[in-house]
């Protein structure tokens, strides 16, 4: 069976952190009761839930009562966008997003438009970054919500969240930050009004998302009313999964700075070696390590189909993503690369698992070159 060393798709989902595994087993024993009940088992479950909420709040720079748990990051993004827009209809029906937001945010924007709202999409530069001045320039008196991811899931670009948040704050516009790729990896920050995240990105189990809404920010659920999670999410949470997610986040927070430095060095090597070893390769995203996520690198190979490349790498023992990495279909062209003006054909994203080593990177580079050569030969492009 393939080891974690060959798993290069951590931006989609990470292996379960050992701390999460231990916490999950304990919570299955002690956290099975309804935390809203007053009897002993319910009180024990409530303590577990409150502790998990406090841990997440501390990591994202919020208060425990601002944090709610959802079944996924997808649900969290939908609720954040549609809930803020629903609550601020009197202000207006204008939404601002960047062209490289996650597909779940863009899907919520389309639903908003179908309901009669308006969306302005801010362009990005060839490295995938928005210009804060350009973003501020499209904010209007009737803008109900702005949305900007903290780090891009495909090309690693870190966005100027602080500058955009300041511009929004001046105008009284709440900013939603999709922080799925940065929570648990980079230091927490407080430049947000609504924040969303996904536990499976930081070593927690699938089935847990985070929706945080700052106190004083107007938000109304687009779903039927329910008393759970401060009225933000219908139905009870899966307490064992939430406890495991919080345990993983606490554990990652302790090691995140050292892990980021180590992964950034591996990514820097990949960025340097890919164009040196393989012809007609474009490495995507920012050149400056300070402007990008530490664990992600994306590149495009000319004359090679990305899906074929991912399939052959899988046979060689490496799991990578291709196409639109936030789509269920690998055949969907990447809207992120299209927005950057980059090649959308033959793209691959490598995102390192926590235990990736220099040896893993070297093995990947050695495997990649003959695979690319073979695929180009099959397509008749080897002599171009």
Give the number of other Cβ atoms within 10 Å of residue 1's Cβ.
2
Report in angstroms the alpha-carbon separations of 167 from 128, 163, 186: 20, 6, 23
Using DSSP, how many helices (H) and how many strands (E) does the chain show? Answer: 10, 11
Q: How many whole angstroms separate alpha carbon 39 and alpha carbon 50?
A: 16
- Is 168 annotated as catalytic? no
DSSP class per residue in 233-251: SSS---HHHHHHHHHHHHH
- Asked whether 274 and 202 are in contact (CB, 8 A), the reply is no
* Residue 290 CA from chain centroid, whole number: 18
Contact between residue 10 and residue 252 where contact means Cβ atoms under 8 Å apart? no
- CA–CA dist 133, 290 (Å, integer): 20
Catalytic residue among 326, 336, 368, 372: 326
Decide: 75 and 210 in contact? Cβ < 8 Å: no
Q: Name every residue whose Cβ is closer than 8 Å to that of residue 371 and which is 6 or more positions away in sequence.
A: 309, 312, 313, 316
Q: What 3-state class would DSSP assign to 317?
A: coil
Cα–Cα–Cα angle for 200, 164, 208, nearest 5°?
A: 15
Q: Which residues are catalytic?
A: 326
């Amino acid at each position: 069976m393939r080891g974690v060393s060959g798993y290069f798709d951590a931006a989609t989902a990470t292996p379960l952190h050992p701390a999460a595994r231990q916490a999950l087993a304990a919570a299955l024993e002690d956290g099975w009761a309804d935390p809203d009940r007053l009897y002993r088992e319910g009180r024990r479950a409530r303590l577990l839930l409150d502790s998990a909420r406090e841990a997440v709040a501390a990591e994202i720079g919020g208060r425990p009562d601002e944090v709610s748990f959802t079944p996924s990051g997808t649900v969290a993004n939908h609720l954040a966008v549609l809930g803020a827009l629903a609550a601020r209809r009197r202000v207006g029906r204008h939404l601002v997003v960047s062209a490289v937001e996650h597909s779940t945010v863009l899907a919520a924007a389309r639903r908003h438009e179908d309901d009669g709202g308006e969306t302005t999409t801010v362009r990005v530069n060839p490295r995938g970054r928005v210009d804060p001045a350009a973003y501020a320039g499209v904010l209007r008196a009737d803008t109900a919500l702005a949305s900007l991811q903290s780090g891009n899931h495909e090309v690693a670009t870190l966005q100027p969240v602080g500058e955009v948040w300041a511009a929004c704050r001046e105008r009284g516009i709440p900013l939603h930050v999709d922080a799925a790729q940065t929570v648990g990896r980079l230091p927490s920050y407080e430049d947000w009004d609504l924040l969303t995240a996904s536990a499976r990105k930081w070593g927690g189990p699938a089935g847990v998302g985070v929706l945080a809404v700052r106190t004083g920010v107007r938000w109304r659920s687009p779903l039927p009313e329910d008393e759970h999670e401060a009225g933000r999410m219908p139905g009870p949470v899966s307490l064992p999964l939430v406890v495991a997610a919080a345990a993983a986040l606490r554990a990652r927070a302790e090691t995140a700075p050292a892990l980021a430095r180590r992964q950034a060095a591996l990514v820097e090597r990949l960025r340097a070696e890919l164009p040196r070893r393989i012809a007609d390769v474009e490495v995507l995203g920012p050149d400056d390590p300070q402007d990008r996520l530490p664990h992600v690198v994306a590149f495009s190979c000319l004359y090679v189909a990305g899906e074929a490349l991912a399939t052959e790498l899988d046979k060689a023992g490496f799991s990578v993503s291709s196409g639109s990495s936030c789509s269920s279909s690998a055949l969907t062209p990447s809207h992120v690369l299209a927005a950057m003006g980059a090649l959308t054909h033959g793209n691959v994203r490598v995102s390192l698992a926590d235990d990736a080593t220099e040896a893993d990177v070297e093995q990947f580079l050695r495997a990649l070159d003959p695979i690319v050569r073979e695929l180009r030969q099959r397509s008749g492009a080897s002599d171009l």
